[in-house]
Structure 1
Amino acid sequence: KLTGEGKVRTGSLLAGAVLLALGACLHAPGSPENAAPVVAEVPAAGPMAEAFGPLARLAGTRWRGEPGEADKAHGQPADFSEWYWDLGGSVLVNRHVIADGSYGGVTYIQKNGKTGALDFVYITSAGFRTSGSFMLNEDGTWSSEEDLEGLPHIDKVRSTGRINEDGTMSSVSEFHGADGWTPGHTFVYTRTDEPLPELVPTGVPE
């Protein structure tokens, strides 16, 4: 069972996985006043961009995620994330680093040629990874369940979230381990032009 610092550290490590699913329901208007700050030199979308649906609009944006008040009280850091195309626009990439620079991860999203689903793999600087797929719900929310390999206390992550009227994105996660499903963390993401912190990995969490 995760409590205290261990739970907070795990939440930091899984922040990128949560944001990945969170981005899946991006439906923010594209008007200038709502335009996201653009990451410099982002490759243009390729002919497969349509397959990514609203996710395609994340390319070239950067976000800052703030944890909920309870998590902040336990030292949960903020999370910075940016999105871009790779492999000729056939893969959407998310890179994130937490505010203190001690941990980061990269997510690769690609349409499954057999099932048509948007599958992903999330690879981390701490030596673990997650993989799964997600769905967009008609009410504008998203849901995702991921398999996790490489951490001793958690084997799955389940997340739900939505786009809020003010343009922020909010998420709630749950972790699965020996005690079944337990509450994870909440994050609220806002668009930013702050650069990602320098990543200096501290290793695999205890």
Structure 2
Amino acid sequence: MSRIFLSMLLLCVSALCAAEQVALHPKLEPLRPYLNQHWQGDLSQPGADAKVIDRSLWSRALNGQAIKTVHSINDGQYGGESFIFWDENQQSLAYYYFTTAGFYTHGTMTFDTQVGEIIAQEKVQNNQNGITEVKSFSRIMPDGTLDVKSNYLQNGSWVEGHRATYKPVAQQQIIFK
């Protein structure tokens, strides 16, 4: 009888631990479909000889109080990490993005529930190409791919940024040099 009780107790404790592991701040819940998925996108310019492959992973961080994204282009040629969190003072999702190129961004996000789209607006610090702001749009498409497009405020004018479709891929290492 005590073995059954002990087994039941261990099962309950395991279930509680599993529930705690998946806890996420309520304001981050719209981003849950992006979590624990490895994504890969081809950022190559049409007609270019060299491939530009971006690999990324979104994961739960800080006991569910944040989401961490990590990405690497061409196995560490360029990359970055960000933390997305609920900012109580701004009453908004906020984030910081740090790059291997020595610049960082900070901004806010909204989630358009009508189309399932993340809209991010960020300020860029220390960019050597004159980019001071970025606005991006991301959403998971019905076929499971992730569509991302952006616009840059560069040298005082808004220009079209990159656009890419990311596919879900098997687990892979995100490499930094």
Query: With structure 1 as the length reference, what TM-score do the two structures score?
Result: 0.68
Please point out which of 117, 120, 132 is paired with 1:141: 117
Aligned residue among 139, 147, 151 for 1:174: 151
Decide which structure has greater strand share: 2
Runs of 4 or more consecutive aligned structure 1 residues displaced over 3 Å after TM superposition: none
Identity of matched residues, %: 26
Q: Which has the larger radius of gyration?
A: 2
Answering whether residue 145 of structure 2 is matched by residue 159 of structure 1, we say: no
Alpha-carbon distance in 1 for matches of 2:136, 2:165: 13
Structure with more relative contact order (C-alpha pairs < 8 Å, separation 6 or more): 1
Q: Which moved more, 1:103-112 or 1:156-165?
A: 156-165
Coordinate RMSD, CA, aligned: 2.1
Structure 1 residues 148-182: Cα deviation after superposition (integer angstroms, max 9, x where no partner): 00113211111124332211111221111225011
1:100 deviation in Å? 3.5
Is contact 1:68–1:185 with CA below 8 Å preserved after alignment? no
Which residues of structure 2 form unaligned runs of 5+? 1-19
SS at match of 2:33: helix
CA distance, structure 2, for counterparts of residue 69 and residue 126 of structure 1: 20
**TM-score of the two chains, using structure 2 as the length reference:** 0.78
Cα separation, 1, equivalents of 2:62 and 2:149: 31
Counting matched residue pairs gives 156
CA distance in 2, matches of 1:90, 1:108: 10
Q: Secondary structure at the match of 1:160?
A: strand
Partner Cα separation in structure 1 for residue 139 and residue 49 of structure 2: 25
What whole-Å deviation, never above 9, does each CA across 1:79-125 have from its counterpart, x for those lacking one? 11112222222111011111242121110011012233110000111
The one-letter amino acid of 2:99's match is: T
- Structure 1 unaligned spans of 5+: 1-42, 201-206
